[in-house]
């Protein structure tokens, strides 16, 4: 997603503000965050010379579309699309979110 920016006065953007900004920068879509869907913590040991483990925190937000059309920044993304069905490949967290979404509709 990218690092939060420092605002005037020295404070950093919130995670939600960073997400809204980055969604617009990378896709051309304006949105508003409506909630947090899920948070996943992972710990892994990279296949590099790095010492120790790496921790990641994935936060999946619910968002509401406001305006804009897909205009992908190809230096950031390889593509973007609207889906009626999930793509063949999803991250582990995204796959769990999709399954919860489908189960909620039943």
Condensed to tens digits (0 to 9), the pLDDT of residues 23-81 reads 999 999 999 999 998 888 888 887 776 677 888 888 989 999 999 999 988 888 888 88
**Residue 74, domain member (yes or no):** yes
**Residue 8, domain member (yes or no):** no
Q: Which residues pair with 55 in a beta bridge?
A: 43
Range of the domain at 94: 15-105
Task: Check: pTM over 0.85? Answer yes or no.
Answer: no
Residues contacting residue 18 through CB under 8 Å, at least 6 positions apart: 1, 2, 3, 4, 5
Note the pLDDT of residue 2.
62
For the segment 9-26, the average pLDDT, to the nearest whole number, is 91
**Residue 60, domain member (yes or no):** yes
**Residue 55, domain member (yes or no):** yes
For the segment 71-92, the average pLDDT, to the nearest whole number, is 83
**Residue 2, domain member (yes or no):** no
In the chain, the number of structural domains is 1
Backbone angles phi, psi at 67, to 5 degrees: -170, 170
Q: What is the largest CA-CA distance in the chain?
A: 48
Measured CA distances, 80 to 3, 17, 26 (Å)? 21, 21, 9
- Cα separation of 18 and 6, whole Å? 10
Note the pLDDT of residue 96.
81
Predicted confidence (pLDDT) at residue 1 exceeds the cutoff of 60: no
- Cα separation of 13 and 16, whole Å? 8
């Amino acid at each position: 997603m990218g690092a939060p920016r420092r605002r005037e006065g020295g404070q950093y953007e919130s995670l939600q503000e960073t997400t809204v900004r980055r969604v617009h920068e990378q896709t051309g879509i304006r949105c508003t965050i409506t909630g947090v869907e899920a948070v996943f913590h992972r710990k892994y040991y990279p296949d590099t010379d790095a010492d120790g483990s790496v921790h990641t925190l994935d936060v999946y937000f619910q968002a509401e579309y406001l305006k804009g059309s897909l205009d992908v920044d190809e230096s950031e993304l390889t593509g973007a699309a609207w889906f009626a069905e999930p793509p063949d490949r999803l991250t582990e967290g995204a796959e769990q979110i999709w399954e919860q979404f489908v189960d909620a509709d039943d």
